[in-house]
Amino acid sequence: MNSRRKVFITVGAFLGIAAVATAVDYRQIATWSAPEKRPIGARSAAAIAADSTFWRTFHGAQYDHIQDAIETLARAYVATPNDPTTAAHLGWLHIWRIAEHARMASTPAAIIEDMALARRYFSDAVALDPSDARKLGFLASATMGEGSIEGNERLTRQGYFLMQDAIKAWPAFNLFTAGYVFSTQPAQSKQFREGLEWQWRNLDVCAREHVDRSHPEASAYLARVTDQRACLNTWIAPHNAEGFYLNMGDMLVKSGDWRGAQVTYANAKLTPGYATWPFARVLEDRIRNAEANVSRFSGNDPDPPSGMMNGSAFSCMGCHQQ
């Protein structure tokens, strides 16, 4: 091959590579230069009306009406797809449906789609309103959930690191969210132990001191949590505190510490909303059967369900049902 031919081949190859690179760069530039989706300046009347549907369905524990509520909110979302509140409410409805699938007589396999849809809507909500750490925590939960369902370890890890960011942004809220997600992991696993430690840290944050792990009786610190919204019962979560103690008690039972669990369960009785809590009888039963529930809760087989709060028919309603 003479030198002139070599030059032509080299130049031709270079031009071919350059053409491909130019095409790739053009696509990337076109994508990167597209305007960002921006949050709405003022909420529409339809979106505000959809809020009422969401809260009526959610606070009323109207699980059978979830699809009707999704339809109402989806119409509002299509009309104003840059409303972060509507997006988040759609995410919560989808995650509620899969979280409390124990309510169903027969669970369809396609219910896994709810986790993917929850991640999609929470991702949108976070992009539109990055200041709300609650949305970030739920995005992290849905991301880990979808990764677990799909066997996608990369997605699961992405969700885990999002959760670390959410904890840093609002510890009092997202330490519970994170611990709750990990409550379903095997009792001896690193993830479960980390989740339980997050619950302890949540108590520390709310109490503004290191809570005694051997006797976490709440009367010693309750007076100091009255100005911390994430640690109290609120309009959004009318039984937030009761649900927290029920879940943490379940996790302590699963870890084998059933005596500590009995003290933790009993803390729920000290909350202002306990008398009207729909799941008070569940808690009383937990206290009586704490020791017997160690083997029940610590089983690694998720089917049949262990009986813990996470995975039950009141996974969400334990805190949110009015």
pLDDT tens readout for residues 79-98: 999 999 999 999 999 999 99
Number of H helices, E strands in the chain: 14, 0
Q: Are 141 and 163 in contact (CB under 8 A)?
A: yes
DSSP string of 116-145? HHHHHHHHHHHHH-TT-HHHHHHHHHHHHH
What per-residue string of b and e applies to 114-138 under the rule 16 or more CB within 10 Å gives b? bbebbbbbbbbbbbbbeebbbbbbb
Tokens 């709405």, residue located? 40
d(CA 11, CA 75): 56
CA neighbours closer than 13 Å in the CB half-sphere of residue 215: 2
Query: In this predicted structure, what is the pLDDT of residue 76?
Result: 97
d(CA 220, CA 211): 9
- CA torsion 264→266→267→270, rounded to 10°? 180
End-to-end CA, the chain: 85
Instruction: Please list the ranges in the chain whose pLDDT falls under 50.
Output: 7-9, 11, 14, 302
Q: Which two tokens stand for residue 213?
A: 């792990």
Q: Report the predicted TM-score, pTM, of the whole model to 2 decimal places.
A: 0.89
Phi, psi (rounded to 5 degrees) for 240:
-55, -50
d(CA 156, CA 178): 13
Selection from 135, 86, 80, 92 nearest residue 117 by Cα: 92
Dihedral of alpha carbons 80, 83, 89, 95, sign: positive
DSSP state of 219: G
Widest pairwise Cα distance in the chain: 95
Query: In this predicted structure, what is the pLDDT of residue 106?
Result: 95
Dihedral of alpha carbons 79, 74, 88, 52, sign: positive
d(CA 285, CA 250): 12
d(CA 247, CA 5): 76
Query: In this predicted structure, what is the pLDDT of residue 223?
Result: 76
Distances from the Cα of 15 to the Cαs of 18, 70, 111, 159, in angstroms? 5, 53, 51, 42
**List of domains in the chain:** 43-169 (1.25.40.10), 183-322 (no CATH)
DSSP state of 23: H
Query: In this predicted structure, what is the pLDDT of residue 300?
Result: 52
d(CA 169, CA 182): 19
